[in-house]
Each structure stands twice: as structure tokens, then as C-alpha cells.
Amino acid sequence: MKKILILMLSVVSFEVMAAKPTCHASSNGYCNYKGSVKQIYINSGNNILIYFDTPFDPSEASVAGFSVTRGEAAILKITDQNRDFANLFYSTALAAQASKREITILMKGTESGYLKADRIWLAE
């Protein structure tokens, strides 16, 4: 019986730890994500996508004044940024994924239906 209870508690704890973005109306609207990097994607169209632990309902972005159709990732368009920033953003996300450390991403605006990443923090 104890083993079953421990197993059930560990499953519940895992669900609580899963992260999804939250959006806020203050500061002219923004969304933020704090969690692990589930997946990193980069393509020849100059897009970097950082996938969240848990997708969020795109309609939740309306709180911040954003119209979003994709709730599984944040996007950074490399050509819209300083190249050094885009490289550092990608390497920070990659370091977080490799080391299993949490990141925080602030998102302002949209691009191709995704929340647009604006800055990134790497936790200790």
C-alpha cells in the first residue's frame, strides 16, 4: 500500500512542476515562462523555437493584448534581432537544456502565431 501511495504522490508532484506561460496586462502586456526547455528548434527561415514543458491555451495571451494561435513554444526571429543576441539566446537555451536547469523567458508581441521571446534568464 505504501508503494502505491508513493507512486501516486510522485505522479501528482510531477504534474505540479510542469510549467506553462502566464500572461499579464501590466507593463503594456507581456507573458513569461519559467520552466525547463522541452525542445529547441531552429530552421533555415531564421526562427528559433523554445518549447514549453506544458503548452498553454493560446486564448490566455489575450490578457496581455496578444493574438496567438500556437501555445506550445516561444519564437525568436533571428533576422529581427542583433545577431549576437540571437546567438546568445540560442546558446543560453541550449545550456539550460543540456544542464537540466530552469530558464525564464519574457515574451512581448507575436510572430507567426507564437509568443515572441524578448529575453531569457538561466537559473542557477
Whole-prediction pTM: 0.82
pLDDT at 39 exceeding the cut of 80: yes
Rg (CA), the chain: 16
User: What's the pLDDT at 59?
Assistant: 96
| Helix, strand, coil % in the chain, rounded to nearest 5 | 35, 35, 30
- The average confidence (pLDDT) of the chain is 88
Q: Taking Cα atoms as reference points, which of 56, 54, 51, 57 lies closest to residue 74?
A: 51
pLDDT at 12 exceeding the cut of 70: no
Q: What is the pLDDT of residues 60-84, one digit of tens each?
A: 999 999 999 999 999 999 998 788 9
Distance CA 89, CA 80 (A): 13
Q: Which CATH class is domain 19-122?
A: mainly beta
